[in-house]
Amino acid sequence: MTTTVAFLGLGVMGYPMAGHLAAAGLNVRVFNRTAATANKWTQSHQGTAHGSIAETLEGAEIVLTCVGADPDLISMYEGPEGIIANAAPGAVLVDHTTASADIAEHLANKAYEAGLGFVDAPVSGGQQGAENGQLTIMCGGNSQDFSRAKPIINCYAKALNLMGTAGAGQKTKMVNQIAIAGLVQGLSEALHFAENAGLDASKVVDVISQGAAQSWQMDNRAATMLEGKFDYGFAVDWMRKDLAICLGEANRNGSALPVTALVDQFYGDVQAMGGRRWDTSSLVERLRRIRAK
C-alpha cells in the first residue's frame, strides 16, 4: 500500500524535498500559502495540490512542514484550521523548519496531547543539498516517531540521526550554524589576506585545501568568493535569523559565543550593504569594502 504524505511549505527547500518524495513513489499531497507555487509543483511532479491545510492532511500518515520561523509554525500548527486539529489519527508530524527549541518542545507537547507523533528535523545542506537529495538532518523526538518518519525523510537525506527528545534537533542545528559562522569568517579573512598580499589566491586555495585548513566551505565556496559571486546558497537574512536563535539559546543555557555574536554583527553590515539575499560567503565582500574606504 502506498504511503500518503502531506508536505506543507514549498519554498526553496521544501519544493525539491517534496519532489523527492514524489519520485520515491509516495502519494504526495502539497500545500503552500501561495497557491500558484503548489500548482506549479504538480505540473512537474506526481502529486496533488490542495487549498487548505485540512484538505491537504486527508489520509496522510506523515505530515511534513518547512516554513520560515516560529510564528509561521504557530499559525500553521495551531487553531481549528491548523495541522494538529486536522491531522489523521496517529499521524507523525515532522517539521524541517529551522526554529527555536522552545517551539519544537511546545508543538511536540501539543501533538502528544492530540495523540499524534512529532519530530523536529531541521536540515543542513542548503538549496543544492535539497535539490540533490543530500541533506544532513538532525532530529528530536521519541524513537517510535523517528522510526516511522525515517524511511520518508531518507528520500532526501544523506545523513539522518535522532539526537534526543523534542528540541534536540533544533539545538543540534544551532551547533551547526555556530560552527559555520566562524568558518566562513575565517575563510573570508584568509582569502582577503591572500589577495592583499599579492598572492594568486586560487593557487593558495589549491595548496591549503590539501591540509588542515580544508573545509566544506573552502571546497564549495572559495572559488565563488574570489569571483565576487554570492548567489550560491543560504541567504544572509536567513543566517541572521538562525544566529539570533543560537544567541538566544546560548543566553538561556549560559554558553559564551563571542565569535558568533561578532559574526552576526558582520552579517548586519552585509545587510546594510544591500546583501540581504547574498549567500553567507559574502562576508569576504564586507572586508573588501572596508579596505576600499
Active site residues: 173
In sequence order, what are the beta bridge partners of 37? Answer: none
What are the cell numbers at 280? 553567507
Q: What are phi and psi of 129, to 5 degrees?
A: -65, -40
What are the cell numbers at 167? 528540541
User: Is residue 4 helix, strand or coil?
Assistant: strand
Rounded to whole angstroms, the Cα distance separating 141 from 129 reads 23
- Contact of 232 with 127, CB cutoff 8 Å: no
Give the position of cell 572559488. Answer: 223
- Contact of 87 with 116, CB cutoff 8 Å: yes
Rounded to whole angstroms, the Cα distance separating 83 from 118 reads 11
First-to-last alpha carbon distance for the chain, in angstroms, is 65
How many Cα atoms sit within 13 Å of 36 on the Cβ side? 0
